[in-house]
Each structure stands twice: as structure tokens, then as C-alpha cells.
Amino acid sequence: MALLARQKQRARYHLAYTQLTTLTGLSLGMAVITKAKLIVDTNLLNLDPIAEPDVIATIDRLDCNEKQRDQLAATMASGLSASGATKFAYEEPLHLLEKRYREYQLRLADQLGAYINPVSNTEAERGGHVVEGDY
């Protein structure tokens, strides 16, 4: 049983790869991303069948975590606008969800023998300084 196209897309999404085709990426001069994305795509195609349930579970956890972060952020925004005051009671749970997301993201990268996008703006903010070629 191979991963579904949607599961492959979600894996690429959580590893912060663009949703561009390889040729489009090359035309933009993004060789580093193209090489790293090729590794991800190749490893998704050649995933050991016995490892597929673990990869799928990690992708599901990442999706669930992202949904929880969005819900918490929406709750935080509605609570702040309703009270008119600035409260930071949501910061700790939001930080814990972000930390847990990063842990699952790193687990997915390990499971796929791949890298999180080395030049992603989002990852630079989430994981610290990212320099092209650090992978």
C-alpha cells in the first residue's frame, strides 16, 4: 500500500516545501530546494511498506497539531477582542503546541530521510536561523 497523493502532499507541506513542480522550481533558480524536494519525493515513492503506518501517523499528528494551533489562536483572538484587554494566558499552550509540532516535523524528516526545507522563511522563524546549504 503506497501513500496516497494527499498524504505525500501533506508530508511536503509539513516539511515546508513549495507546491511547485520540479521544472517550475528550476526555472526560478531554486536549485537547493529542487534537490532537497527531489530527495523528499524520491523517499516518499520508495518508502518501506512496513514504515508507511508510522509516516501516516506522524502526518496525521502534524495535521491535528496544526488544527489545534489554529483553534487556539482563534480562541485567543476572540477572547482578546471580547474582553478588550490584553491577556497572555494562551501563550504557554500555544508555545507547547508549536514545540510539539516541531518535534513531529523533525520526526517526519527523520522517517523520510530528508531535510526540512533549508531556505524556508517559515522554518527560519520557527526553528531559528536557516542558511542555504545547511542541510
Per-residue model confidence as pLDDT tens digits over 5-53: 999 999 999 998 866 665 555 555 556 667 788 888 899 999 999 999 9
List phi, psi (to 5°) of 4. Answer: -70, 160
**pLDDT (0 to 100) of residue 24:** 57
What is the rounded average pLDDT of the residues 46-62? 95
Ordered alpha helix ranges (H), the chain: 5-14, 22-27, 31-45, 52-83, 91-111, 121-127
CA distance 68 to 74: 10
**pLDDT (0 to 100) of residue 130:** 47
What is the rounded average pLDDT of the residues 49-61? 96
Name the more confident of 74 and 11.
11
**pLDDT (0 to 100) of residue 120:** 76
**pLDDT (0 to 100) of residue 6:** 94
**pLDDT (0 to 100) of residue 134:** 46
The band of 57, judged by pLDDT with boundaries at 50, 70 and 90, is very high
pTM of the model: 0.76
pLDDT tens, 80-128? 555 555 555 556 788 899 999 999 999 999 999 998 887 777 776 665 5
**pLDDT (0 to 100) of residue 135:** 44
CA distance 7 to 26: 24
The distance from CA 5 to its chain's CA centroid, rounded to whole angstroms, is: 16
> Which of 128, 111, 135, 93 lies closest to 14, judged by CA?
111
For residue 29, the 8-state DSSP code is T
